[in-house]
Structure 1
């Protein structure tokens, strides 16, 4: 990867939130709203396509991710201690499941719904101790399947349009893995100069968009791993991305490094970039609805 690769779009801030660890960008196509979290700030946020109609919720634990449910009045939240059903209008949290042996020193990190409505999520040690995490799939209330590991900081996951390929990064190693069934292969390996692969999404053409923690950009890769271009950002730590907007051609991008409150800097802001390709609607969980 080089900084001479094509620029695919221009990113502009739409919410200068000052998040300490913004993550988990998630577009709700039914409501026309973007959900995202500040992990270290223990907050869940929501906004419209233009960055308006903002609302935030304080949470009792660090939220690693959010996911849509069939019930429009509910979300799935991956918190420190497990997976919860959350009702935004009432603030009610109902515990659903946690991996067997999940410890208080660990937390859930990134997570997504696949094309079949199943919730996949990673776990990690809160202090990022090596090889303490894993990748899991929620099978039902109280039932969690261990899929792969160990990981240090699992990020993604993301799914091909036909659902056959699962992508997941172990950020500190610089590797993005691709799975077809249970068979794992190395899809990408970041150089040190590129930063670390963080959150990711797949567009309608099957290309993978990967955020660069420590790399100030989002890159788009073809299904054979060829780099197609990038979106540059004016902040160092780029954490997650999701297609949204009425036509699913706005790439929303979360970042980290803010103080926890809005301020003069752009670190911790949510950015938006209009792209030539559109994304795919987020999946909705079979549970909690």
Structure 2
């Protein structure tokens, strides 16, 4: 749980930068075992989602500064990135893998979330690729070959481009549409529209019900075999809330001051106890050792 909270705090800090955004096709799998490599992670992701899913990139991040092991590879950092061609596949992988005890083991469960991308880095990569294509003399021949194969059935699955902002329109509510129709066309046209709508529902009732069940949102479709592990349902008012870094620092400072004060009080009390146990030595009284005084006392006048 502490790992999840630290990851969420780092994500909230990263998203304060306006150039950062949450990817729809790329996911991060954290808390990986040290023996997992790219192929093992790819196999797990494809197995959980199913056969139609296409993984374009699967990479386990490794510590390049550390010395190489027996297999000739650097040790893994414990997390990796997986890129899908469709958002539905990425979402299905997240739902089935996240916090699933059957993937690794009960003590180490995968922490899966959508990755945070940097738009400036993606734009720079895109410009670099365009420049290399422009300087490549064989690029025009490849384009001509693609134009000749327009009617081929199998298409090349490439990674989706997220380097620019997609402006999408939000779907309006049905209530707003009905109110606008009443204002425009009057009550008579509205009655005719409702009759047509009721006829269509009677004809295609089954299809509409199926779409209502499967279509979750504008970009997401619920898969048919959505019976497997899909995470735990969250409760309202859960106490695991994200706190800001400023509040956490202030709380840490107050805790540090309280601990310091308690240590001072404990030291003082220990000193007093040690002093009470030991015998208090009183200073010796001063003796008058003046020889002249002694002589005067001995003399008798």
Normalising by structure 1, we get a TM-score of: 0.21
**Structure that is richer in helix per residue:** 2
The one of the two structures with greater contact order (alpha-carbon pairs below 8 A, sep at least 6) is 1
Normalising by structure 2, we get a TM-score of: 0.21
Structure index of larger Rg: 2
